[in-house]
Amino acid sequence: MVKIAAIGECMIELSPRSGGLLAMSYGGDTLNTAVYLCRLGAAADYVTALGDDPYSDRMIAAWQAEGVGTKRVIRRPGRLPGLYIIEIDQSGERRFHYWRQTAPARDLFAIPETRTIVAALAAYDYIYLSGISLSLYGEAGRTQLFGALDAARRRGCKVVFDANYRPRNWPDVKAARAAVAQMMPRTDFALTGLEDEQALFGDENAIATIQRLRRAGVREVVVKEATAGCRLLVEGEIVLIPAERVARVVDTTAAGDSFNAAYLAARISGADPAEAARAGHRLAAEVIQHPGAIIPRDSMPDSLVGGSPPLRRFKG
């Protein structure tokens, strides 16, 4: 079976409920993608660092219940995971407020266990990470990470990246732009958002983003647009794959994360890029009709590719 490593940070999530209450769960962009990958039949491990506290214990138990592998989770004594609160406006768009500066995930590539993590990454078929992942580690940590990605790619691993730019996570846009630019030559699949690419690089439109990333050497590029859908190369031509229509958007949290999971799952199982994009839209359309990042299991779509049963078989 194909093995996928998702690198990043999971935090305690507090999201609004009626009466001014907050519900507690756990979330993080790459963790969300790992969960949805496992629900679609993939074998995904999460690569991060947590504390030795009860909240970290609950996170690991929740990931294991979803089938996410936890053997690459480093536990740091005396540390606590990060926390964020979501605010959602009337259109379903969200804002995040973070408390994460001392989260152990930020030390993943600057601790004695880093060597073990770097060696382990070379054994995976796919590595998935995001711009949020890059923002965690600082320049020295990113150097370690980039070296690990280079070593893994030399052994045939494919790297999947979503720019997922969050300005508050970076000292300034120049630092973020430089880190993402360093990431591009190490990327095989770019599953990115137009708004993020415009904020970072000033691209006029999705076509400009695709052309720029292809020049940087990225083999496969998908650019997600806020409402229209996504654009990608199909047989040398840039095409638009429309998004699924949704009667009411409740919460857009994890829309892109779930799209990426379904897209990657479909591609690994043999779907072409257009089919994979439609699968991504189907899952994202369901996700944004529920509060929070991870929807109930019984709300997962019955089919994602061409009306076929849920994706279960993976090449490899």
pLDDT at residue 314 is higher than 60 = no
Residue 84 contacts residue 12 (beta carbons within 8 Å): yes
Spans of all domains in the chain: 3-299
Which tens digit of pLDDT belongs to each residue from 191-250? Answer: 999 999 999 999 999 999 999 999 999 999 999 998 889 999 887 889 999 999 998 998
The 3 state secondary structure assigned to the chain is CCEEEEECCCEEEEEECHHHCEEEEEECHHHHHHHHHHHCCCEEEEEEEEECCHHHHHHHHHHHHCCCECCCEEEECCCCCCEEEEEECCCCCEEEEEECCCCHHHHCCCCCCHHHHHHHHCCCCEEEEEHHHHHHHHHHHHHHHHHHHHHHHHCCCEEEEECCCCHHHCCCHHHHHHHHHHHHHHCCEEEEEHHHHHHHHCCCCHHHHHHHHHHCCCCEEEEECCCCEEEEEECCEEEEEECCCCCCCCCCCCHHHHHHHHHHHHHHCCCCHHHHHHHHHHHHHHHCCCCCCCCCHHHCCCCCCCCCCCCCCCCC
| pLDDT at site 136 | 97
pLDDT at residue 88 is higher than 90 = no
Which tens digit of pLDDT belongs to each residue from 96-148? Answer: 888 988 999 999 999 999 999 999 999 999 999 999 999 999 999 999 999 99
Mean pLDDT of the 140-167 span: 97
Mean pLDDT of the 242-270 span: 94
Lay out the sheet containing 83-88: strands in order across. 22-27, 11-16, 83-88, 94-99
| pLDDT at site 311 | 42
Q: 257 catalytic, yes or no?
A: yes
- Residue 118, class by beta-carbon neighbours within 10 Å (0-12 exposed, 13-18 middle, 19+ buried)? middle
Mean pLDDT of the 66-87 span: 95
Mean pLDDT of the 43-51 span: 98
Phi, psi (rounded to 5 degrees) for 184: -60, -45
Percent of the chain with pLDDT over 90: 80
| pLDDT at site 102 | 92
Cα angle: 11, vertex 13, 15; to 5 degrees: 165
CA distance 200 to 115: 31
What size, in residues, is the chain?
A: 316
Mean pLDDT of the 142-162 span: 98
Q: Considering only residues 54 and 84, tell me which one the structure prediction assigns the higher pLDDT.
A: 54
pLDDT at residue 313 is higher than 70 = no
- Other Cβ atoms less than 10 A from the Cβ of 233: the count is 16
Which tens digit of pLDDT belongs to each residue from 271-308? Answer: 999 999 999 999 999 999 998 789 999 999 987 865 44
Mean pLDDT of the 40-60 span: 97
Percent of the chain with pLDDT over 70: 96
Matching residue, tokens 């993020």: 196
pLDDT, mean over the chain: 92
Second CATH level (architecture) for the domain 3-299 = 3-Layer(aba) Sandwich (3.40)
| pLDDT at site 305 | 65
When mean pLDDT is compared across 21-25, 92-96, 117-121, 159-163, the lowest value belongs to 92-96
Catalytic residue among 52, 53, 257, 298: 257
CA distance 203 to 198: 5
In the structure, what pLDDT confidence band is assigned to residue 315 with cuts at 50, 70 and 90? very low
